[in-house]
Structure 1
């Protein structure tokens, strides 16, 4: 690869990666019913509203799930993969494989978001065990409670030590191994046909 191709690849990954992360966080915050008026939520909504506002006129939500966000996420991820593999690397790409690989990459990013969120929440609990009303802490609580609360029911605290994050980490890693990686392999195989 030439230096310009490497620079282009880097810029594509940064720009698409940042925006995909924002749209994914908005989608996950909506699913978790996080505080909409949180300053971080408002920042994410402001940056993601233009394309989502347009898509919501075309793609309705179903059962509390914002399908416009899902469509935008898959389209952005597929566009990033097409630009990287098809345009820059010159690989012939199958559309069905591209969509499967895009979904796999989005699931992988979702798992990584939860891993990082739980890890940050654990670290914050060590620093300030009584909690604060900081916007980041509140969003982390809203985002991770759907995973940690059921894990706490299964594994109650032992001598004041909460082991539920470990169970969540194991579950998330198993999701990567048993769901995301096979889907990613299938997407790559389909894409390069």
Structure 2
């Protein structure tokens, strides 16, 4: 039971910080100003790892590669630590795969979180200062769906459809991740 608690806490901390790094990259790509409470939180959680990486991977273009690298390094550190806690009985070949899958899970879970908070705020507090930020972040996810799915009874179901698609992608990712682990384990067993 203690091991599960440690794994849970590690997952929460690494997920939160790597999610902040990814949100930083996404907010910069969407040109969302960082003067709002969300932006200030993102900077507070990610500056310590992103800024040193900027010296190695300078910012160019729309996408901040140092933020992406920071999130990937955090995911790799997490799987490495778990591997070491388990006694390093299995092969280390699976670690990059697990880190990549962990990064994809954080991305998809972050998109789900953005959409959920956006939808809830649109119902209860559409004039909140964070509403505009969340609208700009969720619009690229729902805009393609809005082009295909019309309003039904003056209700926009694009966010619900996007949430369903993201959940399906998370299920597929879990399946692919498990299949990759079985393949890696099979290669090592021979």
If the length of structure 2 is used for normalisation, what is the TM-score?
0.83
Residues 118 and 134, structure 2, Cα contact 8 Å, conserved in 1: yes
Matched, 1:103 2:100: yes
Indicate the RMSD between aligned Cα atoms, in angstroms.
2.4
Which runs of 5 or more structure 1 residues have no equivalent in the other structure? none
**For 1:38-91, what per-residue CA distance to the aligned partner results, in whole angstroms no more than 9, with x for missing partners?**
12202211331232111111113454211111111111101111111x221113
Counterpart for residue 166 of structure 1: 160
Rounded Cα–Cα distance in structure 1 between residues aligned with 2:107 and 2:77: 18
Of structures 1 and 2, the one with the larger relative CO (CA 8 A, separation 6+) is: 1
Counterpart for residue 88 of structure 1: 85
> Which runs of structure 2 are paired with 1:3-152 in the superposition (5 Å)?
3=2, 5=3, 8-84=6-82, 86-128=83-125, 131-132=126-127, 134-152=128-146
Which runs of 5 or more structure 2 residues have no equivalent in the other structure? none
Rounded Cα–Cα distance in structure 1 between residues aligned with 2:103 and 2:154: 36
Describe the shift of the 1:190–1:77 C-alpha distance in structure 2 as closer, same or farther (beyond 3 A). Answer: farther
Q: How many residues align?
A: 186
Residues 142 and 162, structure 2, Cα contact 8 Å, conserved in 1: yes
2:154 is paired with a residue whose SS is coil
If the length of structure 1 is used for normalisation, what is the TM-score?
0.82
2:123 is paired with a residue whose SS is helix
Describe the shift of the 1:107–1:122 C-alpha distance in structure 2 as closer, same or farther (beyond 3 A). Answer: same
